[in-house]
Structure 1
Amino acid sequence: MANLVSVERASLALGTAQVLDAVSLGVGGGDRIGIVGRNGGGKTTLLRVLSGTRDVDTGRVARVGGLTVGVLTQDDGLDPAATVHETVIGDLPEHEWAASTRIRDVLTGLLGGLDAPAVGGMAAAVGPLSGGERRRVALAALLVSAPDLLLLDEPTNHLDVEGVAWLADHLVRQHARPDNAVVAITHDRWFLDAIATQTWEVDSGQVFAYEGGYAAYVLAKAERERMAGVIAERRDNLLRKELAWLRRGPPARTSKPKFRIDAANALIADEPPARDGVELMRFATTRLGKDVVDLIDARISVGDRVLLDHVTWRLAPGERTGIVGVNGAGKSTLLRAIAGDVALAAGKRKVGVTVRLAVLSQEVRELEKWADRRVIEAVEDVRAVVRFGAKELTASQLAQRLGFSGPRQQTRVGDLSGGERRRLQLTRLLMDEPNVLLLDEPTNDLDIETLTSLEDLLDGWAGTLIVVSHDRYLLERVCDRQVALLGDGRLRELPGGVEEYLRLRAASAGGPASTWDAGRSAAAAVAAAAVAADSSADGPGSLGAAGGGQTASASSATPAAPAVSPAQAREARKTMARVEKQLSRLADREEKLHAAMLTAATDHARVLVLNRELREIVDEREDLELQWLEAAEIIG
């Protein structure tokens, strides 16, 4: 497809930092591109260059004639005096927007429908809305306007799990045409995998392009480093560990789990599981004993509203549980009740004598008193050395693993960015050696590299972990099970994880499940639920409704999917074998084309012809890989 925006040898410096250094790239029609990289690395600046709001120092940026560009910034810039209706619908006649299924889909998905319960009604003024509500309104206005090129800066911020799933589904359905494209900066790895046909990594003034979403990015980057000899003898390499996690997970997590399979398997053949659950359980039990925190026949309320009623939850040593629910369901309040910061309206809270509890809240004001001190001083104030499982880390080593390099550790806390303050808050929390850790939206303001480092640290952390997050990837990665607040006064066990939560929410609303879920075959859904149920059955904690003596379970509410017949399975295996042969032939052709392009490097006309052939191979391979994935999901 023709490029909507072309960037040729663009360079841009901000102060002494070279943000872009002779970068060439293009956004083509039909592209859905995810941008990743460290905080402060230049992702937002690149988005501004693509939108035309920032000029480059040298080089050239070209856009096709008549291109309309829509940008979602982290500062919404909405008119506080305008109503939600005026902001989102504008001056469109009612017969036009009311008859548009696309516009009605946006209103329902982001604002809760024509009555807009998520923001207090379409007639509500924008000014009094919360930051999350304003974010939804700004995103809805942008999607309703339907520009040719959508540029989104952290679009999943302030969206709950359902909102993220809806947005991914909407972008895939509405922005797959040759006349439009999406470019999104995101740290949400599930969202990245769900939407991206390409991933760009911004690093040290360069932009590295990878085909596919987050799974493809991790694999390609690991292969690149392996081929360069960077990871030889480094068994604890984070990329290998992350790749091992991705490859061991359910097939639906990766958009292209079948390409370069031999290379991937060779890379992680001797990589151990991310966590040694037995060893961590032994450490946790030693540190905590049998009693952790129990909520017994508890009622939790805010004002006249009852969030949970007659709920019993006994946290166990080494338990790792994720909590999901819509915004306002009471997830943070539940976490504060476990911590003892919110009094129970009824029932009892019991705490083990050995418990050392720490809470990561969504506030970072606790760092204000350290504004004039250095980062390393703020960390060493807690403790000089910390133990993670069988390992000991100094304050400097822990800070470095969470993204504070040697020179950055000497920076004044007051000069840190929002993401760096969040990292420092986490570092100080972990230095205190808690054995019960409560994390409230820990992914806020953290880049993917820092998230990966945090997950690596938590893999070796022995204790009880409770996480509230809308980041599906993080919940699956660090937690062994999930529970949900569905607004019925109970905690609901989710044997099928977040996918089951979305099905339950869709069923309660009377609407269809998300396209991401519906796109999976019945056999794959059954297999994933079975695996999750096995994991849940082995979980260490207990969760129930004391009043009715019921264990929180969704299995009775979700009908079983039909089994796959032997004939369907045989046909799927034949399809996989056929596609694998075709992919092998395509790989041979691609290799020959690369060799021919190298030989004809000085013949620009010949290179263009060969490049067109290469693009055709790439498109054909994409179709074949989708066929392979569909067949693999049938087999399970």
Structure 2
Amino acid sequence: MNLISADNISIRFGDRLLLDNVSFGLEQGRKVALVGVNGCGKSTLLRILAGEEAPSSGEVAYKNDLNMAYLPQQPDLDPDATILEAAMDMDDPVMEVVSQYEQAVYRSAYDPKAVERLTDLASKMDSLNAWNYESKVKEILGRLGLHDLEQKVGELSGGQQKRVGLARALLQQPELLLLDEPTNHLDLDIIEWLEEYLSANQMSILMVTHDRYFLESVTNEIVEIDQAKLFQYNGNYSYFLEKKQERYENDQARSEKARNLMRKELEWIRRQPKARGTKAKYRIEAFEELKKDAARPASAGTVELDVSEKRLGGKIIELQHVSKSYGETVILRPFSYIFRKGEKIGIVGKNGSGKTTFLEILSGRLEPDSGVIDQGVNTHIGYFRQEEPNFKPGERVIDIVRAEAEVMKLSDGNEISASQMLQRFNFSPSQQYDIVDKLSGGEKRRLQLLLVLLLNPNFLILDEPTNDLDLITLQVLEDFLQGYKGCLIVVSHDRYFMNRMVDHLFIFEKGKDVEDFNGTYLQYRDQQDLQKFAEQESRKPELQKSKEKARGSSEKLSFKEKREMEQLEADMEILNSRKAELIESLNSGDLNHEQLREVAEEIEKNQEELDSKELRWLELSEKEG
């Protein structure tokens, strides 16, 4: 049965028709991605389905007592609430007591009254059978990097607030989860955890995302908005690409056939006497339909990237012992590097590790504390920043472009006007004279990309370029960058984009020197997995000692804890056995590259589960030790 049904929905935004009388239903257990070009109405449709907005026409129906959670691109949270309060729905008695218990645990380190409350709250947790939920709260908040649960929401960055909103949506344990760009501003390890969590969970999902690995792993259906209509594909991202190409080719064939028929019909129409009122009415009506088919584009407009690049000189940019700190916090330890023509470098590291600070220094927007930046005279930097440009309210799109350049020089030496540039970036003539406030977030990012490229840079810096860009624009951008002859520096949490674009990485980690890793992002992750496995193996003797020590104290555990400990030991034995099988398979030499990757991923998942159970086992074993 459908959890949610939209019947004959139309959406208008001013004079723009985003959806034209479409119907849509989401069945239980389906994991659906909503895709389409920027500005086609994806986020608007999601808000309508979430009950945040009303459609221009049509209606939305929900299953009785549907438990639904919605994560918008920018969650609306109380700035005075703590992280824990914002992440939990206090209307639920179980959530309320778990929240009170967690706050008491957190404050017990400095507040004697909180210690006194713990016994009473623990009793309430027992009566509500809330311990499993409390464990889930800790897991989700911890995995999302939210550790200081007493910190006020108003003190958080936009990315951190997005994580709080995501935690709130997941903790509701909904039947239906609506997500708008859930991976934006998340660290790569958090994205990978979320991908695994959503894939394994039985909840139904409808999400807007540009992350193609995420689409491939999580979804089993894709709904595309194209030319104000919905097209459904029962499969993941790979299947969608195949079927979309078939539909595109069929549309082209139908349009060409319609054009040929229209020529014949036009000849017939013109041959008829003008004063004659007995023309075959059905043929005239058919002719009008043919005109529509012949004029219909094969698919929604796409972006065309073609710009001239200024030639690089012998010296590009040389960094000599460049460093940066804020107070006592070291952001960038002394770093030296000589950039070479044509290299494509990816920058990876957790949020707050200094990636954006490095880009600001490299682009000349921020002065380093020490060191020298020597830029060649022929080096022209184009910087696509993570933050949206501060467009003036009420300014027209074409005026924004003309303020930067009246013409753009193409790679073949020809020049095109500002209006032609905008058309190549999929801004229709009518949109060009719209005020910038009317653009969607993705359209503003596309305009931002145009403003960077029209300066013809030969040293291109891209900070999170994939955020809010649609899949079609991303594919075109990737094709353009693969042929780009200048230097390219990319910060991105999009694994697909990073794997395709860069040939080596700068690894940023707090308190450490920047590491230059010679390989792709996938190779870097494989190396991390091997290091993690080696560390786990080295911990085995310590774990064994803890087990032996705990045997003497297990008498002091409660009956429930003893049973839990026995179950943990049985589970760890199964997981260790499976890990041994996977390692043997990995070392067999019989696997191809894709199989090696799959086995490595399973080893990582196996190890994460083993770590979790070992940690709980140690907690129990040392409880009274």
TM-score tier, shorter chain, comes to 0.5 to 0.7
Residues 1:629 and 1:333: Cα distance change in structure 2 (over 3 Å): closer
SS, match of residue 5 in structure 1: strand
Aligned twin of 2:400: 378
Give the counterpart of 1:91 among 87, 91, 96: 96
Summarize the Cα distance change of 1:386–1:318 in structure 2 as closer, same or farther, 3 Å threshold: farther
**Residue pairs, 1:361-372, within 5 angstroms:** 361-365=385-389, 367-368=391-392
Q: 1:201 aligns with which of 206, 221, 224?
A: 224
C-alpha separation between the residues in 1 aligned to 2:498 and 2:220?
24
2:181–2:468 Cα contact (<8 Å) kept: no
Matched, 1:192 2:215: yes
Out of 143, 147, 158, the position equivalent to 1:109 is: 143
Question: Equivalent of 1:133, from 150, 160, 180?
Answer: 160
Q: Give the whole-Å Cα distance in 2 for the aligned partners of 1:227 and 1:15.
A: 32
Instruction: Give the C-alpha shift of residue 156 in structure 1.
Output: 1.7
- For the structure 1 residues 420 and 344, does the alpha-carbon distance in structure 2 shift closer, same or farther, using more than 3 Å as the test? same
Does 2:428 align with 1:409? no
Tell me the distance in 2 between the aligned counterparts of 1:432 and 1:352.
Answer: 17
Aligned to 1:238: none
CA distance change for structure 1 residues 355 and 495 in 2, over 3 Å: closer, same or farther?
closer
For structure 1, which segment, 396-405 or 494-503, has the greater mean C-alpha deviation from structure 2 after superposition?
A: 494-503
Query: 1:292 is matched with which residue?
Result: 316
Task: Report if aligned partners of 1:506, 1:512 keep a CA contact under 8 Å in 2.
Answer: no
**TM-score, normalisation: structure 1:** 0.66
- 2:419 counterpart SS class: helix
Quick check: 1:388–1:461 contact (8 Å CA) kept in 2?
no
Q: What amino acid maps onto 2:40 in structure 1?
A: G
- Conserved in 2, the CA contact under 8 Å of 1:32 and 1:182? yes
Q: Specify which of 150, 153, 161 is matched with residue 123 of structure 1.
A: 150
Q: The residue matched to 2:153 in structure 1 has which SS?
A: coil
| Cα shift readout 1:348-375 (whole Å, capped 9, x = no counterpart) | 222112111222223444543xx56543
Higher mean alpha-carbon deviation, 405-414 vs 151-160, is at 405-414
Contact 1:187/1:448 (CA < 8 Å) preserved in 2?
yes
CA distance in 2, matches of 1:469, 1:629: 23
Deviations 1:73-97 (A, max 9, x none): 2342222232222222440434455
How far does residue 633 in structure 1 lie from its aligned partner after superposition?
Answer: 6.4
Unaligned runs of 5+ in 1: 234-273, 514-559, 573-627
Q: State the match for 1:241 in structure 2.
A: none
Residues 557-636 of structure 1 mapped to structure 2, 5 A cutoff:
565=588
In structure 2, the CA distance between the partners of 1:332 and 1:631, relative to structure 1 (3 Å rule), is: closer
Residues paired across the two proteins, number = 470
Highest CA radius of gyration, 1 or 2?
A: 2
Q: Matched residues in 2 for 1:561 and 1:297: separation?
A: 45
Q: Where in structure 2 are the equivalents of 1:69-468 lying within 5 Å? A: 69-89=68-88, 90-93=95-98, 94=101, 95=125, 98-100=131-133, 101-112=135-146, 116=147, 121-174=148-201, 177=202, 180-229=203-252, 287-365=311-389, 367-368=391-392, 374-390=396-412, 392=414, 394=416, 395-413=418-436, 415-468=438-491
2:65 corresponds to which residue?
A: 66
- Aligned-residue offset at 1:561: 9.2
Structure 1 distance, partners of 2:347, 2:383, is 15
- The alpha-carbon deviation at position 464 of structure 1 amounts to 0.9
Q: Distance in 1 between matches of 2:12 and 2:375?
A: 54
Corresponding residue number in structure 2 for 1:591: none
CA spacing shift, 1:393–1:222, aligned 2, 3 Å:
farther
- CA–CA distance in 1 between the matches of 2:173 and 2:344? 41
1:152, CA displacement in angstroms? 0.9
Q: Name the aligned partner's letter for residue 104 of structure 1.
A: K
Matched residues in 2 for 1:508 and 1:374: separation?
53
Q: What is residue 574 of structure 2 aligned with on the other side? A: none
State the alpha-carbon separation in 2 of the partners of residues 59 and 352 from structure 1.
Answer: 60
Shift of 1:110: 0.9
Secondary structure of 2:331's partner? strand
Structure-1 separation of matches of 2:15 and 2:435 = 19
Distance 1:172 1:287 in 2: 47
Deviations 1:177-236 (CA, angstroms, capped at 9, x unpaired) = 3xx301111122232223111111122321111233333322221121123336999xxx
Distance 1:58 1:390, change over 3 A: closer
Letter in structure 1 aligned against 2:342: G
Structure 1 residue matching 2:23: 3-state secondary structure: strand
Give me the whole-angstrom Cα distance separating, in 1, the residues matched to 2:250 and 2:483. 28
Q: 1:231 and 1:319, CA in 2 relative to 1: closer, same or farther beyond 3 A?
A: farther
Report if the CA contact (8 A) 1:388-1:462 is conserved: no
SS of corresponding position for 2:359:
helix
**Does structure 2 retain, via aligned residues, the 8 Å contact 1:97–1:103?**
no
- In 2, the alpha carbon distance for the partners of 1:389 and 1:91 equals 62
Answer yes or no: is 1:34 the counterpart of 2:33.
Answer: yes
Alpha-carbon distance, 1:122 to partner: 0.9
Partner residue of 1:498 out of 496, 504, 521:
521
RMSD (Å) for aligned C-alpha atoms:
3.6
**Larger CA deviation: 218-227 vs 53-62:** 53-62
Q: Counterparts of 1:372 and 1:632 in 2: how far apart (Å)?
A: 50
**Kept in 2: contact 1:389–1:462 (CA 8 A):** no
State the alpha-carbon separation in 2 of the partners of residues 212 and 325 from structure 1.
33
Q: Which amino acid aligns with 1:109?
A: R
Partner of 1:45: 44
Q: 336-345 vs 89-98, which deviates more?
A: 89-98
Letter in 1 for 2:430: P
Which one-letter code corresponds to 1:209 in the other structure? Q
Whichever residue aligns with residue 142 of structure 2, its letter is T
The structural deviation recorded for 1:136 is 1.0
Write out per-residue CA displacement over residues 67-124 of structure 1, whole angstroms, 9 at most, x where no aligned residue. 2111112342222232222222440434455544533321221134xxx1xxxx1112
Contact 1:437/1:464, CA 8 A, preserved across alignment:
yes
Flag the 1:511–1:230 CA change in 2: closer, same or farther, 3 A: farther
Q: Which residue of 1 aligns with 2:609?
A: none
The residue identity in structure 2 corresponding to 1:375 is: V
Q: 1:91 to 1:110 in 2, by over 3 A?
A: same
Cα shift readout 1:531-577 (whole Å, capped 9, x = no counterpart): xxxxxxxxxxxxxxxxxxxxxxxxxxxxx9975547x56xx9xxxxx
Asked if 2 retains the 8 angstrom alpha-carbon contact of 1:401 and 1:453, the reply is: no
